[in-house]
Copies of this chain bind each other. A is one copy, B any other.
Amino acid sequence: MPFTMDISQFKSPAFLINELICRQNIRYMAEKAKISGVVFRPHFKTHQSVEVGNWYRQEGVSAITVSSVSMARYFADDGWDDITIAFPVNSREVDDISELAGKIRLNVLFDMAEQAENLGKKLTHETGFFIKIDVGYHRSGIEPSDSESIDRILRTAEKSKLVFRGFLTHPGHTYQAGNKQEILAILSETSQLLTELKHRYQGRYPGIISSTGDTPSCSLAENFNGIDEIRPGNFVFYDLMQLRLGSCSFTEIGAAVICPIVSVYPGRNEALIYGGAVHLSKESLQNPDGSRNYGLIVPFTDGRWHSPEGNDYLVSLSQEHGIFRTGSTWAKTLKPGDLIAVIPVHSCLAGDLFRIADCGPDSYRVRIV
């Protein structure tokens, strides 16, 4: 399906992008980075789209972040020549990484010396690397105080064409924060930890930088003191999770999944939509009453989604079924064949499920222009 199509043709779930909003989100973040004097290296895993990539190019972006070797190859083929793969080196892909490093300016990530060993012996071209630091999210990375592991990576890398670029982190624990202050406190602590590391190593490695990136802190921060590079990704679309965190307002959300109403069950204040886990992912949020929320339902008319009418959300998802609890007066008027928009809980995962090149016959990705 083409990237633009007649919205009235929607028959089955479609991922809809509002180009104006996405471009504004990109411009705002690019300008904030510029004013703050940090490099803006956006994460492309959220959209995985050559066309959305071009919107970044038009805002002066030339360096990007991806989360897999195949994604790096995909964007390198589109002319992006400065890419950081922000996922620790997978030792089974060192040949692919080495090949790619011969074509573009590539940076990789290590959090174990074994990774540097495995990649280093394959490299025939200079390749940058960051050491991944765990500043509290505990997904991957080395503890900031663990100099032994850091030094082991640096010693291993010295024997090869690897070039140390600095310290990188993803403070994903901002997603668990309770409010804006907590998010900014995590950014501040992140900055302090990375700055200390940089100061400790920059004598031996001049020019190393500190890199961080998560949409909540990059959206809320007024400055990036101590940080040299930011790598947010989700902010291009935002989503319900970011709205809940306070990282964005509703009008900054740039993507929604358009779904048909299939049945209505007035007796239980529910409706069935054609839209399930294969379109939205099973990412969920907890409502204040303890129930799960798989997406916020809003009106969709004249080819655009609108502000929420009330407490209308998806209470369960199976493969293609979505059950929608009709809270508002508007929701109770819906009938089979009507279209609604779902603001997804996590736009990265919903977007991945609709990748243009990979879509099946009942999937579209379209944009409002």
Contact = CB atoms under 8 A, between A and B. Distances in A.
A24 B362 CA distance: 32
A354 to B, nearest CB: 11
A112 B266 CA distance: 12
Contact-size category for A: 35 or more
A90 B360 contact: no
Interface in A134-175: 138-140, 143, 172
Interface string A276-295: 01100111000000000000
A335 B172 contact: no
Contacts of A359: 358
Given A140-B272, A282-B283, A323-B139, A91 B336 contact: yes
B260 A90 contact: yes
Contacts of A49: none
Given A114-B335, A360-B70, A278 B349 contact: yes
A10 interface: yes
A316 B262 CA distance: 33
A233 to B, nearest CB: 9
Given A91-B337, A111-B263, A118-B336, 5 more contacts: A70-B362, A88-B272, A115-B262, A140-B263, A277-B283
Interface in A278-337: 278, 281-283, 316, 318-321, 323, 335-337
Nearest to A43: B319
A279 to B, nearest CB: 10
B87 A274 contact: yes
A284 B347 CA distance: 19
Interface in A73-89: 73-74, 87-89
A70 B12 contact: yes
A92 B89 CA distance: 46
Contacts of A270: 138
A358 B357 CA distance: 8
A32 to B, nearest CB: 24
A243 B287 CA distance: 30
B349 A282 contact: yes
A361 B45 contact: no
A12 B85 CA distance: 15
16 contacts: A12-B92, A45-B320, A87-B320, A87-B321, A90-B260, A111-B272, A112-B336, A114-B336, A115-B336, A118-B337, A140-B262, A140-B265, A277-B283, A319-B348, A357-B360, A358-B359
Q: For the complex of A and B, list the 5 residue pairs with the smallest distance between their C-beta atoms, beginning with the closest.
A: A91-B337, A70-B362, A11-B92, A282-B282, A358-B358
A164 B48 CA distance: 46
> In the complex, which of the residues A10, A138, A339 has the most CB atoms of chain B within 10 Å of its own CB atom?
A138
A319 B347 CA distance: 11
A287 to B, nearest CB: 17
Given A319-B348, A319-B349, A272 B139 contact: yes
A130 to B, nearest CB: 14
Nearest to A320: B67
A268 B70 contact: no
Interface in A45-75: 45, 67-70, 73-74
A122 interface: no
A352 interface: yes
